[in-house]
Structure 1
Amino acid sequence: MPKVAFHTLGCKVNQIETEQIKEEFIASGYEIVDFNDEADVYIINTCTVTHVSDRKSRSIIRRAARKNPSAIVAAIGCTAQVNAKELAAIEGVNLVIGNKNKENILNIVEDYRRNNTNQVFAEPITKDAKLKPILFTKPHERTRGFVKIQDGCQSFCSYCIVPFARGPVRSKLPQDVLSEVNQLLSLGYKEIVLTGIHTGFYGTDIGNIDLAHLLELILQKNSEYDFRIRLSSIEPLELNDKIIDLIKDSSKICRHLHIPLQSGSDKVLKDMNRRYSRKDYEELVLKVARDIPGVAIAADVMVGFPTEEDSDFDDTYKLIEDLPLTHLHVFKYSKRPGTKAANIPSVNSEQEKNQRSEKLLILAEKKHQNFVLANLGQEGNLLVERKISNYSYRGLTDNYIEVEFGSDRDWVGEFAKVILDGVDMKTNLVKGTLTS
């Protein structure tokens, strides 16, 4: 039985795609082994969103080639899409497969085993590159199942390489999404995460459906199941009243939204080609917090964009400080060749980037602690994810608070009603008491 090992870098979509590829290899008779073990095939699903992820991708590829020089080494994914020649030049790399051909990797590997010919597949991704439905055949030891509803982005934010790596927006057909959701629920999953590269654009390329309608269909078609839906990141301009009302009115849609901000400076937002203003973002977040009590609101924030001066960062800091945001993902700007921002001279140093990042991380910790404290004394609907000890379990509330509670029965994979009693301020771990 041939052995295959995987290493995945980058976003949740990459991780989902790797899991799908794994299932295909297992079905074809391959044994999955740890990446540190000797294998016949090494598959590295790369990430190119920053120069750091590019460097990590190359490092992992070289490590695989050294591990077993006679193995097939396949570099796939986003770096393979935009820097195919560079990866193909790495000693020991046999296959370079961009995102358009990633779904065909099993056939490509099998062809290499027959012909022993190095190949590069990195042609541009077009709108007709359809998303094929996935067949989930067996449950994994997890409570959360992921469904990729779309791929691609055509917003072309000036700093972002993703449209070049992922191509234009392509939505999975609604009947295929519904089939995948139903498969996961029938296998026992209790939470379905809808994800993609630009989830709020779902349906814009196929017509007669949008994200809100898709949510309604999922709820209608699966009413017999006890489950919940969690949305991944959704851009400010795509988070409309209908989606907000659905979250407010349905106990099956998690009170948790990830709404990228990137900057609180109107000047920088314009330079980023973000198409909304500071005021737009502020009004949206305040509306979400007002309409959905207890909602968790996460935001992506970038520091060190080439035109970001001290006053721009101050605007960002003040906006975040004033808004009811509960989680922050802080990123330092990374120059990506081929993007518009790559040609803009920078007004800030690496030291300034680091200082701004650290300042926001401290603010993020404070805001998260305040959110947790505001939820103490309330009852949370916890999806129990793992057993910590013979008497201790942990899981997540729908509004993304990790809670630990005690019980003498096994709760893993089930919903539990828990009162949030207290919190360890050093770890942000909430202790709860079971009520059901």
Structure 2
Amino acid sequence: MNAPQIVTLGCRMNIAESERMRAMLAGERDLVVVNSCAVTGEALRQTRQAIRRARRDHPQARLVVTGCAAEIDRASIGTMDEVDALVANAAKLDPRAWNVPGEAPAMPAARTRAFIAVQNGCDHACTFCVIPQGRGASRSLTVARVLEEVGQHCAAGAQEIVLTGVDLTSWGHDLPNAPRLGTLVQAILDTYPRLCRLRLSSMDGIEIDPLLFDLIAHEARVMPHLHLSLQHGADLILKRMKRRHSRADAVELVSRLKALRPGIAVGADLIAGFPTEDAGHHAENLAIIDALDIVHAHIFPYSPRPGTPAARMPQVAREVVKARAADLRARAAARRTAWLGSLVGETLPVLAERGGTGYAPNYAPVALPEGSTPGTIIDVTPSGLREGLLA
């Protein structure tokens, strides 16, 4: 092998960080990096699986693991025979951790969509979550640093910028004068008027500031796609999770946005089978999918993570957790299929990507006409659905 291989698992934060590692390590040879995830027990299993697969595919390469699993499950990951070394999550973007020169920032590779991690870490203490253990306290990139990265990606051909963070809406609280995320979004739009699309990754709805709300509701270049770190539809479970919003908060936020921007597509993270969840709580979790018109759902069966308060709470039987996750997925899939069907016959501006597909502003996946050029925005009028794609 020549160029380093980066294997990415988990969240959009990891995607953004992997791109920066790819640029930083471009001169290295015979290197495989597994940028791991440990948010759930299943994520840790997939990390181990990816490590073994990478070793089989590259038996002579140096295999290094970083990411949350390398932090949270350091002892067990470090003893795997396939692993040559670990790099701490906090050090993964530091050239010194990789023994590579770091005098100048590497130019990012050309991408139609670029992910920029503007915030890292988390100061909250949700009872189910190990991510603060893996990523530490919340910290923000400065506006100037973000604008520099956006400019680099735009110069490399990106048509869409995606802002990511572990707790994205907490961006700025540690900077002078504590700016809010809306200030950063406005600065990007003002500085780069030719940037076609700005998309926001998962957000805590209760932290959306007034300027950010206004931009999501009215600014055409901010994509009509809201993904909420919702986690559950029952107030008692939200309280036991130590979330800071209620069901009513989420319903009100989405209602206000849909009244101002009717085409906005809502996504959400939902956990099935949280400790103490009963049939009534599960019914409320199912109902929130319809109440918020969630069409981009990420469903997670609860798995206890070591050292978290939720792991000490009364657990729901595993077979019940799996069955409830299946219920949520089925409800979400039905909602999504109906939504995609409603877009048939509508002309959509689609950002073409490699592989013959692309995404509309509302993040609907679309099959492209043959010969479409990646990185261009193409008007497509789908006539039906094919394997989950508008086509």
Give the TM-score taking structure 1 as reference length. 0.82
Contact preservation (8 Å) 2:12, 2:201: no
Contact preservation (8 Å) 2:272, 2:300: yes
Contact preservation (8 Å) 1:75, 1:96: yes
What whole-Å deviation, never above 9, does each CA across 1:383-427 have from its counterpart, x for those lacking one? Answer: 122464xxxxx32111112233547x7443112233x34322x62
Task: Name the amino acid aligned to 2:341.
Answer: L
Partner SS, residue 367 of structure 2: strand
What whole-Å deviation, never above 9, does each CA across 1:329-387 have from its counterpart, x for those lacking one? Answer: 111001100111011121x2122112111111111112112222333443322212246
State yes or no: 1:43 paired with 2:4.
no
State yes or no: 1:24 paired with 2:14.
no
Task: Please report the RMSD computed on the Cα atoms of aligned residues, expressed in angstroms.
Answer: 2.5
1:221 deviation in Å? 0.6
Contact preservation (8 Å) 2:266, 2:292: no
Could you tell me how far apart the structure 2 residues matched to 1:246 and 1:66 are?
Answer: 48
Contact preservation (8 Å) 1:20, 1:134: no
Contact preservation (8 Å) 1:135, 1:180: no
State yes or no: 1:210 paired with 2:180.
yes
Alignment partner, residue 122 of structure 1: none
Could you tell me how far apart the structure 1 residues matched to 2:382 and 2:57 are?
Answer: 49
Partner SS, residue 193 of structure 1: strand
Partner SS, residue 261 of structure 1: strand
State yes or no: 1:85 paired with 2:75.
yes
State yes or no: 1:423 paired with 2:376.
no
Partner SS, residue 299 of structure 1: strand
1:4 deviation in Å? 3.6
Partner SS, residue 103 of structure 1: coil
Q: How many residues align?
A: 389
Alignment partner, residue 118 of structure 1: none
Contact preservation (8 Å) 2:172, 2:181: yes
1:226 deviation in Å? 4.5
Contact preservation (8 Å) 1:133, 1:176: no
Alignment partner, residue 56 of structure 1: 46
State yes or no: 1:401 paired with 2:364.
yes
What whole-Å deviation, never above 9, does each CA across 1:231-270 have from its counterpart, x for those lacking one? Answer: 0001121123422211232211100010122111111111
Residues 365 and 173 (structure 1 numbering): CA distance in 2 closer, same or farther, change over 3 Å? same
State yes or no: 1:97 paired with 2:58.
no
1:68 deviation in Å? 6.7
Partner SS, residue 341 of structure 2: helix
State yes or no: 1:364 paired with 2:332.
yes
State yes or no: 1:13 paired with 2:3.
no
State yes or no: 1:220 paired with 2:180.
no
- Once the two structures are overlaid, the 10-residue window that deviates more, 196-205 or 93-102, is 93-102
1:138 deviation in Å? 5.1
Q: Kindly name which structure, 1 or 2, has the bigger radius of gyration based on alpha carbons.
A: 1
Contact preservation (8 Å) 2:170, 2:180: yes
Contact preservation (8 Å) 1:286, 1:324: no
How do 1:19-418 residues align onto structure 2 when only pairs under 5 Å count? Answer: 19-26=19-26, 29-31=27-29, 39=30, 41-62=31-52, 64=54, 71-91=61-81, 93-104=83-94, 106-110=95-99, 135=105, 137=107, 139-140=109-110, 142-208=111-177, 209-223=179-193, 225-346=194-315, 348-386=316-354, 388=356, 394-406=357-369, 410-418=372-380
Task: Name the amino acid aligned to 1:244.
Answer: F
Could you tell me how far apart the structure 2 residues matched to 1:12 and 1:151 are?
Answer: 12
Could you tell me how far apart the structure 2 residues matched to 1:312 and 1:78 are?
Answer: 30
Task: Name the amino acid aligned to 1:397.
Answer: A
Contact preservation (8 Å) 2:228, 2:266: yes
The gaps in structure 1 that reach 5 residues or longer are: 32-38, 112-131, 389-393, 432-436
Task: Name the amino acid aligned to 2:28.
Answer: Y
Contact preservation (8 Å) 1:386, 1:412: yes
Could you tell me how far apart the structure 1 residues matched to 2:104 and 2:313 are?
Answer: 42
Residues 133 and 353 (structure 1 numbering): CA distance in 2 closer, same or farther, change over 3 Å? farther
Contact preservation (8 Å) 1:265, 1:316: yes
Residues 160 and 133 (structure 1 numbering): CA distance in 2 closer, same or farther, change over 3 Å? farther
Partner SS, residue 383 of structure 2: strand
The gaps in structure 2 that reach 5 residues or longer are: none
Greater length-normalized contact order (CA 8 Å, ≥ 6 residues apart)? 2
Task: Name the amino acid aligned to 2:252.
Answer: E
Contact preservation (8 Å) 1:80, 1:98: yes
Contact preservation (8 Å) 1:194, 1:230: yes
1:148 deviation in Å? 0.9
Partner SS, residue 260 of structure 1: strand
Could you tell me how far apart the structure 1 residues matched to 2:302 and 2:138 are?
Answer: 24
Residues 245 and 67 (structure 1 numbering): CA distance in 2 closer, same or farther, change over 3 Å? closer
- Once the two structures are overlaid, the 10-residue window that deviates more, 409-418 or 60-69, is 60-69
Residues 292 and 3 (structure 1 numbering): CA distance in 2 closer, same or farther, change over 3 Å? closer
Residues 66 and 368 (structure 1 numbering): CA distance in 2 closer, same or farther, change over 3 Å? closer
1:45 deviation in Å? 1.6
